[in-house]
Structure 1
Amino acid sequence: MVHTFPMTLPASLVEAHRVDLASKPSDGWRFAVFDVATAASGDTYVLGGARRYRTPAQPPQDPAERNFTYGMVTRHAPDGTPVDTALFAQPHPDGSPSAIPEAGDMTLAVLPDGQVALSEKPGSTFLLSADLSRVTESWRMPFGWSVEEAGPGDPYAVSLSVTPSGRLLAVTSEYGLSNWAGAHANIVAVSEPGSALAPGAKPPLNAIASLDDRTDRQTDADLRPYVRYQGAPVGGANRPSPSLTELVSSCTRRPYEYRDCWLGRPAPLGDELFVVPVFSRIYRSGNRGGEFTFALLDDQGRLTGRLEGLDLYKDSPFTGFCFTVAGDPHRGRAFHLNRYGLYGWTSDGQMRARTSTEDEPFKALTHFALMGCAPAGELLLVHRKQNLLLRVPVPEDLGDLPAALEDALRTYGTQRTALKKRFTPVNWHWAEASARVHRL
């Protein structure tokens, strides 16, 4: 069944900081949704952030009027009702620091035991209890331009995803790559079957792909003992070969475009098959028509194919930076949404569904971002401006997806009208007071 519900803000946060919800990004106010993950129980976890930044001549004396930055994870019941919200990044009212610091890119994953894993660049991972009331474990990777500057830390993953049997599909970062400063997401790895991420337990990860193998600058200080290849920590020449850059550039007439390419977030298509997005370098002049590959890798690192059927220009993900590939590992399907259409593939890489945003029934898709796929086989789409999540059931036959999507977009309009009457949003911001708020 098509289901729409709002991505809410805690009313207590809005009141405490006297937020004018009618403000726009140009006024220094922004609320955004970064990731969505669903649990087997039917609960939906939404990762977002709220920020107010103004540059007055003098800092306001009233603390309520000052700038702030919050990260937040909200747990929604199966009917969409917000139940719990965890706030982090912003210091507590007494000035003590948050258990989870402010970061850039963040991702969510719900583990088989119900706990929530929050990962941040360059490689920190935090475990949250299922009710979001506390941080049960943290593995931190401090920021630095080199491992000597940052210190060894205790990192884990840049991003995590979970396969049907509970294996972890991870991306980890490395220092000392090529002539780059800082840590870069570079290794795709998976955990062993039966291992679990839990408080006090950080399962080893087996590397299956290395994006960049230019590691002349690496030393023993750059090794991470929990990321392994052939029984030893990944580092220097001990890594999967050939590199992922070589693998994807060998199948194009323009291999030079993959120099200094970067990894998207991998998605599982099963316990032993994954889609790994690789994108060419971002240029200020624009990248439409630039190279990208949605590579299919097995758990031994073999390139078994790619998601076929996309045109580098007409279907470019670089317009609007739509880089997410969602996997439905329970059914062996993959999906991608960008400004030009929504596409669906089977696990052999064959495209079975294509909807063009040039067609009238699907024009509204340009306003949505694909966040993932629920265990029940639903696409999770978030409206970028209206802050609403649309769950779209995917039919067994992907050839029927366009019709199902057309029906879902019609239903979205009806359900949105009902939600507006219930919540009375201000500038599409949905403040809600019923959820428990936890400061981490």
Structure 2
Amino acid sequence: MTLFPITVPSSLAASLGLDPTNDEWGQEIRHAVGTEAGDTYVLSGLWRHDRRRAEDGGQGFVLQLITRHTPDGETAATAVIPYEVPGGTRSVISWGDESRLALLPDGTLVLSSRPGNTHLLAPGLDRLLAGWRMSTYSWTKDEGGLPDDPFAASVAVTPGGRLLCLATETSLENWGVPIANLVAVTDPGAVLAPGHKPVLRALTTLSTSADRQSEEDARPHVRHGDAPVLRDNRPPSLLEQLPGLAGGTAYDWNRAFLRRPAPLSDELYVVPVYGRTYRSGSRGQRFAFTLLDDRGTVRGRLDGMDRYQDSPYTGHLFDLTTDPHRGRAFHLNRYGLYAWTADGALRAKLPTTEAPFKALTHFSLLAATPAGELLLAHRKQHLLLRVPAPADLADLPAAVAEALAGLAKGRNAAKRRHAPENWLWSEEAGAVHHL
């Protein structure tokens, strides 16, 4: 077990005038990815509300930070990504919802977000190598001289280097914004690199109501057969198979939505599908972690979760992560940590109602590393916990219980070193790059 804080460069905190003793600032650890060598990239958000005080010159800001940590948790480098650069101009790194990280086989870091922003960063976090963007609203197109040129809303990498992607479409149903509607994958050997977008072969879709689409809605790199996905030229809808796979009727799955697909191998993927959310509460709503192969055939689902007792809708904890090197999937929500093998069988369930696992309610599950570790982030204390996942998932409860039992000792050691204020961990370590 390794525990380390996600730090903010002290020079950055000073230049922003960040006062950790007030309640106007916030930090959120959003995603992480591990390298073969044991390093960890962590994506986090840092902000302060724009409630200005004339007497102290307070000013709001919104940033994303990517930190690279060595295997022992030391901060090696930090990339600072503003929403706007001074003067009010949008950053060349486009922002969107649900930002996620991935690593290409050559070590290049991929930052993706909805509706179709994809950026390539150098491993040292010192350079932006390439970027493709997509506007959420039509009236923001060409903003800052950057026309729409999307790649994918999310990117995950299989052990063999294929890219498993979530792609958006426009002019669907009555929606006026891009909708994440397609699961797609690259062919073996295809490369994403500066100046080159590989073809994404669409495997499945949700909505098929695309009568309003025109040629302007086509994305040449997202294809079904020999042509771009457009109107009727699209793969079969996953929605049509969900009632038989996970119960309910077509109405129960109306307005369902996709979250980031994750690979179990080069040819098998998990596609999370969730029924619509309701303002009055959605616990008990249907969901399915669908198993899909690289031909678009549904191979089943991850079994063993009760849609009410194990509902991910409490807190909207929808993310699922996989360890494609070992063919395993993991999910953490308010009710427990769940682990499956590639056949869809639930092999471990760690209920948060049991004493050894109660602390899991404070964590988010970010990723599984190539070494087989689970990366968990403490939502309030901004700590990253690396937990070795045993080869036999039946031993996972003991491993997680041991890691959580050592949490207080590791946290106290970090506090003695960094002396955080209000859980803002500040240090000047490694290079700081403003992108």
Deviation (angstroms), 1:279: 0.4
Aligned to 2:25: 29
Aligned to 1:16: 15
Contact 1:88 1:99 in 2 (8 A): no
Q: For 1:342-381, what aligned pairs fall within 5 Å after superposition?
A: 342-381=337-376
Secondary structure in 1 matching 2:164: strand
Q: TM-score, normalised by structure 1?
A: 0.94
Aligned to 2:117: 124
Contact 2:94 2:133 in 1 (8 A): no
Deviation (angstroms), 1:32: 0.7
Contact 1:75 1:85 in 2 (8 A): yes
Closer/same/farther in 2, CA of residues 147 and 433 from structure 1, 3 Å limit: closer
Closer/same/farther in 2, CA of residues 185 and 336 from structure 1, 3 Å limit: same
Aligned to 1:47: 43
Task: Find the aligned partners of 1:146 and 1:95 in 2 and give their Cα distance.
Answer: 17
* Bigger shift: residues 268-277 or 4-13: 4-13
Secondary structure in 2 matching 1:381: strand
Task: Find the aligned partners of 1:215 and 1:102 in 2 and give their Cα distance.
Answer: 27
Whether 1:217 aligns to 2:216 is no
Deviation (angstroms), 1:12: 1.3
Structure 2 counterpart of 1:80, from 73, 79, 82:
73
Give the counterpart letter for 2:4 in structure 1.
F
1:391-425: CA deviations, max 9, x gaps? 11111111111111111111222211111111111
Aligned to 1:6: 5
Aligned residues: 432
Aligned to 2:135: 142
Whether 1:269 aligns to 2:264 is yes
Task: Find the aligned partners of 2:287 and 2:71 in 1 and give their Cα distance.
Answer: 36
Give the counterpart letter for 2:239 in structure 1.
T
Secondary structure in 2 matching 1:199: coil
Could you list the runs of 5+ residues in structure 2 that have no partner in the other structure? none
Task: Find the aligned partners of 1:94 and 1:172 in 2 and give their Cα distance.
Answer: 32
Task: Find the aligned partners of 1:147 and 1:96 in 2 and give their Cα distance.
Answer: 13
Contact 1:48 1:73 in 2 (8 A): yes
Give the counterpart letter for 2:296 in structure 1.
G
Deviation (angstroms), 1:84: 1.0
* Bigger shift: residues 137-146 or 162-171: 137-146
Structure 1 counterpart of 2:303, from 288, 305, 308:
308
Closer/same/farther in 2, CA of residues 257 and 407 from structure 1, 3 Å limit: same
Deviation (angstroms), 1:60: 4.3
Aligned to 1:67: 60
Aligned to 2:244: 250
Task: Find the aligned partners of 1:149 and 1:259 in 2 and give their Cα distance.
Answer: 34
Q: TM-score, normalised by structure 2?
A: 0.95
Deviation (angstroms), 1:148: 8.8
Contact 2:290 2:300 in 1 (8 A): yes
Give the counterpart letter for 2:175 in structure 1.
W
% same residue? 48
Contact 1:269 1:275 in 2 (8 A): yes
The alignment's C-alpha RMSD in Å is 1.9
Deviation (angstroms), 1:181: 1.2
Task: Find the aligned partners of 2:55 and 2:111 in 1 and give their Cα distance.
Answer: 34
Aligned to 1:287: 282
Contact 1:146 1:182 in 2 (8 A): no
Deviation (angstroms), 1:234: 0.7
Could you list the runs of 5+ residues in structure 1 that have no partner in the other structure? none
Task: Find the aligned partners of 1:143 and 1:323 in 2 and give their Cα distance.
Answer: 22
Contact 1:109 1:117 in 2 (8 A): yes
Secondary structure in 2 matching 1:379: strand
1:42-96: CA deviations, max 9, x gaps? 211111111111334xx7497x631111111111111111111111124445766
Secondary structure in 2 matching 1:255: coil
Task: Find the aligned partners of 2:172 and 2:191 in 1 and give their Cα distance.
Answer: 30
Give the counterpart letter for 2:78 in structure 1.
T
Secondary structure in 2 matching 1:405: helix
